[in-house]
Amino acid sequence: AQSVTQLDSQVPVFEEAPVELRCNYSSSVSVYLFWYVQYPNQGLQLLLKYLSGSTLVESINGFEAEFNKSQTSFHLRKPSVHISDTAEYFCAVSDQGGSEKLVFGKGTKLTVNP
Amino acid sequence: NAGVTQTPKFRVLKTGQSMTLLCAQDMNHEYMYWYRQDPGMGLRLIHYSVGEGTTAKGEVPDGYNVSRLKKQNFLLGLESAAPSQTSVYFCASSYGGSQNTEAFFGQGTRLTVV
């Protein structure tokens, strides 16, 4: 069975600072990896995903994540954050065998301060 | 294109009352999920379905039942509500299987049991 660990429950940063949100997973099979974002009082939206190929994946709003198989990690980074990036971020995993389940981490609340 | 629609958006129940949450998707997805979100707990899978007429238990199924009589609808029932079921409930859907590349979420149902 898969599991996801998000190492930080809250990350406060100042605007224009870099940020890294950490995610580690465990699985006995090859996986798909996802980052979802949840803005206040909204549902979750897909931010980016790793399916195969290049281990570095990017989103349209400047976030990127790198799949590291040896360290079983999929950390999310952004070189310069904006106030509007304030949200909760969830890492998720499903296995490439077509598992029915999408398993989420407990989330990291990113707060960007002026 | 409505995506995933949850009904109702808010509800207050008294302990012991029953209710049904409705999830509808118009993307012809095979897989549908019900999650609950609680502070500090992330999203926990309650039940899921891999196709019309099928359901399976997730991580926290006790106190809930589900039905998938039509491919586009996934119902979550609470037969006898308890205060511990106070939560925000999210429905999601995806293609599943080898195409399980993204889950689409509804806007959530905020349920309070008093």
With CB atoms and an 8 Å threshold, state whether A102 touches B103: yes
| Residues B8-36, mean pLDDT to the nearest whole number | 95
pLDDT at B110 exceeding the cut of 70: yes
Which chain A residues are Cβ-neighbours of B29 within 8 angstroms? none
pLDDT of residue A18: 97
Shortest CA gap A71–chain B (Å): 22
Helix H, strand E, coil C: the string for chain A is CCEEEECCCEEEEECCCCEEECEEEECCCCEEEEEEEECCCCCEEEEEEECCCCCEEECCCCCEEEEECCCCEEEEEECCCCHHHCEEEEEEEEECCCCCCCEECCCEEEEEEC
A22-57: pLDDT as tens digits: 999 998 777 889 999 999 888 899 999 888 888 898
| Per-residue pLDDT reduced to its tens digit, A65-74 | 999 999 999 9
Residue A101: which of B45, B105, B106 has the nearest Cβ? Answer: B45
Q: From the CA of B41, how many Å to the nearest CA of chain A?
A: 5
Give mean pLDDT, residues B25-45. 92
* Residue contact B42–A90, C-beta within 8 A: yes
